[in-house]
Amino acid sequence: MAYTPKIDEKQLVSDLQKPDTSREAFDTLMRTYGEQIYWQIRKMVVRHEDASDLLQNTFLKAWNNLDSFRGTAKLSTWLHKIAVNESINFLNKERGRRNVSADEDGCDSYLAEYLVADKYFDGDELKQELHKAIAMLPEKQRIVFNMRYFDDMSYDQISEIMGTSTGALKANYHHAVKKIEVYFENKE
């Protein structure tokens, strides 16, 4: 799980909502959650360039919608939700641009191709194969697997971000794990 410095989130929200402290507080928000949000996006869209652009879009959307933040969820959860939605919208546009749809299993198999060409990917062969297997998962399973496996998020946290029941998330995670196992069994 990514390290997140301890901050007083209530104070940060209060500072974000005051005109005289909002810019400094927003800088703190970006420094505190930027890397964590970047990797959440990166695991969804794979390419560094796309993840960087979507990270900027996420924080821009957060900045423009600070007045609508109700505080019913944690600030980090709100940011993750924006990032997930931005990533899903990007993937949908990318499918349209490429004139492809997710295959019959709902997979975006073209994402696996990005891993091979990604100069920023520094994993060994096994890690690369794992990421290829993840890239081949249907979108929702891929998101849930990444949040649970790599970010060590609880099902309750993921439920808050995704707006899905924990039972459905557990099922998505279970199916993702099984598909990854099958991917590796077929590699042998």
How far, in Å, CA of 51 to CA of 45, rounded?
Answer: 7
Long-range Cβ contacts of 98-104 (<8 Å, 24+ apart): 102/138, 102/139
CB contact set of 67 (below 8 Å; sequence gap of 6+): 17
Q: What is the pLDDT of residue 113?
A: 61
3-state secondary structure of 138: strand
CA 16/CA 89 separation, integer angstroms: 27
Contact of 145 with 137, CB cutoff 8 Å: yes
pLDDT tens per residue across all 188 residues of the chain: 444 557 888 899 889 989 999 999 999 999 999 999 999 999 888 888 999 999 999 999 999 998 888 888 889 999 999 999 999 999 888 877 766 655 545 455 566 565 555 555 555 677 778 888 888 898 899 999 999 998 899 999 999 999 999 999 999 999 999 999 999 888 87
Dist. CA 18–CA 69, nearest whole Å: 13
Closest CA to 38 of 27, 23, 50, 22: 50
> Cα 10 from chain centroid?
24
DSSP state, 68? G
